[in-house]
Amino acid sequence: MKDIHQIRVQVNGREHELAVESRRTLADMLRHDLGYTGTHLGCEHGICGACTVLVDGSPARACLMFGVQADGCEVRTVEGLADGDKLSDLQQAFSDHHALQCGFCTPGFLMLAEAYLSEDRPEAGVETGHGAAGDGSGGPSEAEIRELVASNLCRCTGYQGIVEAVLATARLRDARRRGSGQQPAGSG
């Protein structure tokens, strides 16, 4: 007898109500019950990060969560990044910096980086190592982005393009925030 639960989940702003077996992973639920196949499964044990999605704004390995645990949550997947067909700044940076080859790990890296870039990041924090770029740009350092990117596995690129793309997007967004007069927390 299957243990079925009725849940509600919002994915990329769209409400879904569905019956899901208790043991079904969030990744399988997203991919096969709701059709968000942009989320990929690379290891199903939480190491590779290809299945990274945002659950209530925080990155989560969708292979390590059950679908029922997302009841009442807002989930964001790679399909929710673009504005219609217009690539987001991060997606465009991935293409510009050749940050993908086979593309299988790409959704996980995009969601991981999007969570980082959307955080209330201090622009030039001291203790966190922010502002170590040393080039006057004030953004995060290459080393900091490299550490972030080290959360996930890519077998094709050697990571350099991914690091460059995330770094470029961070600087772009910081510049945009400065331009619009928003002061990120902790800056100064």
Q: How far apart are CB 132 and other proteins at their closest, in Å?
A: 16
Q: Can you tell me which of 78, 112, 133, 168 binds other proteins, judged by CB under 8 A?
A: 78
Residue carrying structure tokens 């390590």 = 64
Q: Can you tell me which of 4, 102, 126, 185 binds other proteins, judged by CB under 8 A?
A: 102
Residue carrying structure tokens 């910096």 = 97
Q: Can you tell me which of 7, 29, 34, 39 binds other proteins, judged by CB under 8 A?
A: 39
**52 lines the binding site for other proteins (CB under 8 A):** no
Q: Which long-range contacts (CB under 8 A, 24 or more apart) does 176-183 make?
A: 177/123, 178/123
**How many residues sit close enough to other proteins to count as binding (CB under 8 A)?**
57
- DSSP character string of 98-129: T--SS-SSHHHHHHHHHHHHHS---SS-STT-
**106 lines the binding site for other proteins (CB under 8 A):** yes
**Contact of 59 with 148, CB cutoff 8 Å:** no
Of the candidate spans 71-79, 113-121, 128-136, 174-182, the one that interacts with other proteins by CB under 8 A turns out to be 71-79
Q: What is the C-alpha end-to-end distance of the chain, expressed in Å?
A: 59
> Which residues ranging from 136 to 175 are in contact with other proteins (CB under 8 A)?
142, 146-147, 149-163
**42 lines the binding site for other proteins (CB under 8 A):** yes
Q: Which residues have a Cβ under 8 Å from the Cβ of 64 and sit 6 or more positions away?
A: 25, 45, 46
What does DSSP say about strands 74-76 and 4-11: parallel, antiparallel, or unpaired?
A: parallel
**61 lines the binding site for other proteins (CB under 8 A):** no
For binding to other proteins (CB under 8 A), which residues are involved?
Answer: 21, 23-24, 31-32, 36-45, 47-48, 50, 77-79, 81-82, 85, 87, 91, 94-96, 98, 100-107, 110, 142, 146-147, 149-163
